């Protein structure tokens, strides 16, 4: 296949490029580099089956030649990013999704949307199945990301139902691994950076909020299988076996990094934890049944690999 991957210079987009090239496909990467980095794609420079277009998908998209699949992964994805860039976040979820769907329709390509567990908001059920409609504050500071993704899902399903476009939707749960940015703002790189630089690990509140963390390679495998499946409704891809409190995550990272950093609790004075979900864990029944997919990387193994990556970067 020849595939277009938007957000190609980002954490997940760059790993997707690697996977499709490894499978023998040709990849066109697209990114405006707002939060992505060409460092993530440097190893693909000069590859005969990879090309890159610097472009903002919120603007009209032109790609010459046939395209067999469009994977839309462009978007700021951490609270730091979408609080700094609220309007671009809304635009890439709405206009960007509209433009990439239009391109897929024009090319007769299959379309895969990167959605998120954030569509469930601060959930009132745990774990969260795809049938749960969510508990989202549309006007809170996180709403720019949550509602952008909810709209993206709605327009994707509209294109499927009205235009007959082949579409797939993956709801991604907390993912970590190499190529995350040191200043990403998400909890795993935050804690690892603090542990490796002997700074206190700063836990917001009491650290009782839970997350289920998955290693990036498990997610990439699930996405690849979903694209090649026949499932048009959203599918959760996450690791329900690793649900832990933020405090427990901090303790594990200190241990795995062999750090002497203390762990301290602070009360933030900004918008980063407004509407912060108290629990987050996927129900992956559909992924098991439809894709034959299960997460395979244990939390400690993934954290060790990620800590080693950041240690080398530092």
pLDDT in tens, 273-291: 677 889 999 999 999 999 9
Alpha-carbon span 80 to 77, nearest angstrom: 8
Q: Report in angstroms the alpha-carbon separations of 6 from 85, 113, 185.
A: 18, 10, 22
Distance of alpha carbon 7 from its chain centroid, rounded? 10
Predicted confidence at residue 275, as pLDDT, reads 77
Predicted confidence at residue 32, as pLDDT, reads 98
Element (H, E) at 42: none
Kindly indicate whether the domain formed by 187-208+242-280+300-313 is annotated with CATH number 3.90.25.10: yes
Tell me the per-residue pLDDT of 64-90, one tens digit each, with 9 for 90 and over: 999 999 999 999 999 889 889 999 999
Q: What is the mean pLDDT of residues 91-104?
A: 98
Predicted confidence at residue 184, as pLDDT, reads 86
Q: What is the mean pLDDT of residues 169-192?
A: 94
Q: What is the mean pLDDT of residues 160-167?
A: 98
Lowest mean pLDDT among 137-151, 154-168, 221-235, 256-270: 256-270
Q: Label residue 12 by pLDDT band (50, 70, 90).
A: very high
Lowest mean pLDDT among 18-27, 51-60, 134-143, 281-290: 134-143
Catalytic residue among 82, 120, 145, 176: 145
Sequence ranges of the chain with CATH classification 3.90.25.10 = 187-208+242-280+300-313
Asked whether the beta carbons of 293 and 225 are under 8 A apart, the reply is yes
Alpha-carbon span 2 to 57, nearest angstrom: 18
3-class state of residue 239 by DSSP? coil
Helix axis angle for 143-163 and 86-107, nearest 10°, is 20
Q: Is the pLDDT of residue 272 over 80?
A: no
Sequence ranges of the chain with CATH classification 3.40.50.720 = 2-174+214-238+283-296
Give pTM, 2 decimals: 0.96
Query: How high is the mean pLDDT of the chain?
Result: 96
* Nearest partner of 202 among 254, 271, 250, 257, judged by Cα: 250
Q: Is the pLDDT of residue 205 over 90?
A: no
Tokens read off for 269: 């004075």
Looking at domain 2-174+214-238+283-296, its CATH superfamily turns out to be NAD(P)-binding Rossmann-like Domain (3.40.50.720)
Predicted confidence at residue 151, as pLDDT, reads 98
Helix axis angle for 187-196 and 299-313, nearest 10°, is 60
Q: Label residue 268 by pLDDT band (50, 70, 90).
A: confident
Q: Report in angstroms the alpha-carbon separations of 290 from 108, 132, 230.
A: 24, 18, 9
Active site residue 145: yes
Tokens read off for 9: 């210079």
What's the maximum distance between 2 C-alpha atoms anywhere in the chain? 58
Q: What is the mean pLDDT of residues 207-220?
A: 96
How do the residues of the chain divide into helix, strand and coil, expressed in percent and rounded to 5?
A: 40, 20, 40
């Amino acid at each position: 296949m020849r595939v277009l991957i938007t957000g190609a210079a980002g954490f997940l987009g760059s790993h997707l490029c690697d996977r499709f090239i490894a499978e023998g496909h040709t990849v066109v990467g697209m990114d405006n580099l707002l939060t992505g980095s060409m460092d993530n794609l440097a190893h693909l420079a000069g590859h005969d089956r990879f090309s890159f277009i610097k472009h903002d998908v919120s603007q009209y998209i032109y790609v010459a030649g046939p395209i067999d699949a469009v994977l839309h992964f462009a978007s700021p994805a951490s609270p730091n990013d979408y609080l700094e860039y609220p309007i671009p976040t809304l635009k890439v979820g709405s206009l960007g999704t509209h433009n990439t769907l239009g391109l897929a329709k024009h090319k007769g390509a299959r379309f895969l949307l990167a959605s998120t567990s954030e569509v469930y908001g601060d959930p009132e059920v745990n774990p969260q199945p795809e049938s749960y409609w969510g508990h989202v504050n549309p006007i809170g500071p996180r709403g720019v990301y949550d509602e952008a993704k909810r709209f993206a899902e709605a327009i994707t399903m509209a294109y499927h139902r009205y235009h007959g476009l082949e579409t797939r939707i993956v709801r991604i749960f907390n993912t970590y691994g190499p190529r995350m940015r040191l200043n990403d703002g998400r909890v795993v790189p935050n804690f690892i950076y603090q542990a490796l630089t002997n700074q206190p690990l700063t836990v917001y509140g009491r650290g009782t909020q839970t997350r289920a963390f998955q290693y990036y390679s498990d997610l990439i495998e699930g996405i690849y299988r979903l694209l090649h499946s026949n499932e048009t409704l959203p599918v959760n891809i996450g690791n329900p076996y690793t649900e832990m409190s933020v405090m427990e995550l901090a303790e594990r990272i200190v241990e795995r990094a062999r750090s002497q950093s203390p762990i301290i609790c602070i009360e933030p004075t900004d918008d980063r934890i407004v509407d912060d979900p108290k629990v987050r864990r996927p129900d992956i029944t559909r992924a098991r049944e439809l894709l034959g997919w299960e997460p395979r990387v244990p939390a400690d193994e993934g954290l060790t690999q990620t800590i080693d990556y950041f240690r080398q970067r530092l």
